[in-house]
Amino acid sequence: MASAPAGDSNPAVVLIFENDPRQAIAYQELFAGAGYQAQAALPDQDVEQLCLRLQPQAVLVDMAIWEADAAYVFGVLSGALGFERPVIIALSTLPHQVRRAKKFGADSVWIRGVDDAAALPRLAGDLLQQRREGKLKPRIASTPL
């Protein structure tokens, strides 16, 4: 299994916006097992305060949550006021969710049911490494958030 990216002695923090409690727990356990510090959240929590407190390096966003909630989360993450803009991985199932994730500025889109979830921590680690090396610039939303 992939492990959290090496860098400093602290594990990378992954914030998971998932409204299905079982899915949230599964993603949390998956990332924790790979050496990340994982925290599940809901889009109705104060996203900015959560990011200020946790300083996440990566964020998973379930694109099946209500569109306005997803837009709010992406807006806060892209604005990154008081914290570094994390790598954003959108979790999608349907084609319109993939399009929305790209318009909102996701750095990567994970297709549920096609991509093997066990590789999600490796994807996050690869994206974080690319960000550290300057190869992955934060994407800009192509739609107002």
Q: What is the CATH number of the domain that holds 88?
A: 3.40.50.2300
144 within a domain of the structure (yes/no): no
Domain count, the chain: 1
In tens, the pLDDT along 96-128 reads 999 999 999 999 999 987 778 889 999 999 999
In a domain, 31, yes or no: yes
Q: What per-residue confidence (pLDDT) applies to 99?
A: 95
| Residue 97 maps to a domain | yes
143 located within any domain: no
Q: How far apart are CA 115 and CA 143, in angstroms?
A: 26
Does 8 reside within a domain?
A: no
Residue 64 lies in a domain: yes
Domain contains 96: yes
pLDDT at 6 over 80: no
Structure tokens at 31: 């990332």
Dihedral (Cα; 68, 70, 51, 105), 10-degree rounding = -120
Give the whole-angstrom CA distance, residue 128 versus residue 60: 13
Q: Is 46 exposed, middle or buried (0-12, 13-18, 19+ CB in 10 A)?
A: exposed
Q: Is residue 145 part of a domain?
A: no
The pLDDT-based confidence of 130 (bands split at 50, 70, 90) is very high
What is the arrangement of strands in the sheet containing 108-111, beginning at the earlier edge strand?
Answer: 37-41, 13-17, 58-62, 87-92, 108-111
Residue 70: domain span: 13-132
Task: Tell me: pLDDT of 5 over 80.
Answer: no
- Cα torsion 45, 2, 64, 142 to 10°: value is 90
* Per-residue pLDDT tens over the stretch 66-102: 889 999 999 999 998 999 999 999 999 999 999 999 9
pLDDT-derived band at 145 (thresholds 50, 70, 90) equals low
